[in-house]
A and B are shown apart, each in its own frame.
Chain A
Amino acid sequence: MTGAYLYELGVTPYGEALGIMTELAAARTQGAIPDTVMLLEHEPVITLGSRAVRGEELLFAAVEYTRRGIEVVEVNRGGRSTYHGPGQLVCYPVLDLRSRGKDLHRYVAQLEQAVIDTLAAFDLEGRVVEGDHASGVWVGDRKIASIGVRSARWVTTHGLSLNVDLDLEVYELFDACGLGGADFTSVAGELGRPIPVDDVRPPFRTAFENVFQVSFDALPAAV
């Protein structure tokens, strides 16, 4: 069990969170801070990862997304396209994998496990699906969490998003993950009742601590 910082934020614009994450990663790379995990929600944004094919996954002109209040951003993480917005729990772990066996696939599997354990707290059964572009967690054949990760010098950035309670129609505005119209779901959708993101944070924190064998401290304001 090692210590790690937990940095909890509310609904944060994508660019702002990305800036914080980048600074944390730089500090982590230099050994200035221990492993640090960001937990937050985003304002509505569609992000295109390095494997996204803009022309195929964005079904409308950029202005259409703007009109709906959704930002479109290209980011340097793995994976294809995804949506973030209020009602979705986003987790960006900035971890140094050199002390964790230098195994990126194991890391991705651990992220998936943390989500599966979180879902179990709500009596939902999450599972992993094998195949290209399928990284994430599914309930039945509906995708509930997406994963897109980058690492540099074994320090990780980006991470995962778990749909808690949001209007799933947004997934019809683009070809999420290049999956060609796969169904998306949320914790609320599976439970059949509304649920605030703040109710999912505690079980997620616990699940993350258990899977990654860390114990969280709040990030000191000074960092």
Chain B
Amino acid sequence: MATGTVVDVVMPQMGVSVSEGTITRWTKQVGDRIEADETIVEISTDKVDTEVPSPATGIVREILANEGDTVPVNTRIAVIAAGDGAAGDEAPAPATDNAEETPATPETSQTMAASAAPAPQPAAPTAAEESNGDEDDSSGRTFISPVVARMLAEHGLDINAIPGTGRGGRVTKKDVQAFIDGGGQAAAQAPPVHDVPHFAPPAEETVVVETPPPAPQAAPAPAPQPSAPAPAAPVAAQPPATASDGEELYQFNTIRKVIARHMRHSLDTAAHVTTVIEVDMTGVVNLRRKWKPEYQKRYGVNLTYIPFIARATIDAIGSWPWVNAEVRGETALIKRYVNLGMAVAIDDAKGLMVPVIKHAEEMNLVGLSRAVIEMAEKARTKTLSPDEMAGGTFTITNPGVFGALMGTPIIPEGQVAILDVEAIVKRPVVVTDQHGNDSIAIRHMMFLCLSYDHRLVDGAYAAQFMAQIKKSLESWDEQAFGL
């Protein structure tokens, strides 16, 4: 593509006393076409949200700040390759090439899909969705707008099967709708091609119940189905469901699709085992009660149990590092740092995100408390950057807040263990005093459940790892971990 003028998009000055702004949402992604004055990004300060219009018409070439980032006024946040004439016409040209090839390839795309689809598994759940699209402008790929990308993903369509009427043969939203309305669902038999970018940011996924696609009469034959690999496209490989009375149709949104794919893949790969240990949390419960006001006052953080458990776990990882590793074929990468994944329920518990606290081993209780709160808030408000969800080495999940007592969690891909924190409940237990006398006492008890990959970690190793967590929690060392 011809190198036209390059225009910078900068963080605008929103007032004389305003020195910085926070990126709320990119409405365009790298590779998207944008008109001058069309909104490219939404920014916010404490008090005001603002849409920032594009200074030029062209293609978004670079995005230099993530959603959630706060940057000073006049910082370059994006670059647009301006092209009203030459460059603009040239850019979409590859799309035309693709379109011309389409008639020859529909069968190919169906049969190829089986081998093509399972290959690229994004490392982190949402990295794929928020990826800025690394494709080189000149790679000859079709430019796809976020709306189109989402429609393609939701209906499991192959863009190459859809005739484009947009500029340079580009496939527009209207084209996709026309294709769907025209019974084009036949193509939905093919799993989505792997290079359909999942541009749609999760924030746009709030509307999940869509009109059911037309009934699958057009589906040519059930034949391709058995050959379609389930893990690759659990949604698209099935014929579209229709809801009857008393039923409701739920189209998987992007987050759901990513969760489905990763959970299935992890179960297909790791040899899951779960070990449970019971911990007497009475000491921690009392400490938390004691420190909570102090934490609120001095640090402004709400002290929960999670930082205690995280701190004890990270400490135990130091002695039992194999639970903090990654299996690659017949080698294991043992990590000396702990990037702690925190499973966070979002969308009224209809979705899950796993932000990662980097180098959690360097943090004390205050640091962990802050990080946990910050990450949970970012997850719920869907302002996590891809980077903040990548690189986890060990994960903690906490269904205990909802009263759950035991669970067998699935290990996140690229890790070998996940710790499930369960509810703290008062139970009568037998306690033995220093003289060996038994008595029954009311104690705050909690189960910890560790799922681990038996390819690397054996039961005895896991049990000792957990025993050390138990010991730390039951005899909290204020000096070592404390306030």
Contacts and interface: CB of A to CB of B under 8 A. Distances in A.
A91 B15 CA distance: 22
Interface centre among B47, B48, B206, B381 (most CB of A within 10 A): B47
Interface of B: 13-18, 24, 37, 39, 44-51, 53, 206, 377, 380-381
B15 A54 contact: no
Contact of B49 (A74, A107, A147, A151): A151
A74 B37 CA distance: 26
Interface string A173-188: 0000000000000000
Contacts of B17: 105
Nearest to A103: B15
Contacts of A77: 49
A132 B49 contact: no
A78 B22 CA distance: 12
A53 B380 contact: yes
A42 B47 CA distance: 22
Nearest to B14: A104
A108 B47 CA distance: 8
A50 B49 CA distance: 8
Contacts, number: 74
11 contacts: A50-B24, A50-B49, A78-B49, A103-B15, A104-B45, A104-B50, A105-B45, A135-B47, A147-B47, A150-B48, A152-B50
Contacts of A151: 48-51
B102 to A, nearest CB: 38
A6 B103 CA distance: 59
Nearest to B302: A180
B293 to A, nearest CB: 14
Interface of A: 49-51, 53-56, 74, 76-79, 102-108, 132-133, 135, 147-153
B46 A132 contact: yes
B380 A55 contact: yes
Contacts of B37: 153
Given A50-B24, A53-B380, A153-B53, A103 B47 contact: no
Contacts of A107: 15, 48
B53 A104 contact: no
Q: What 7 A-B pairs are tightest by C-beta distance, nearest first?
A: A105-B15, A103-B15, A152-B51, A78-B49, A135-B47, A104-B14, A150-B49
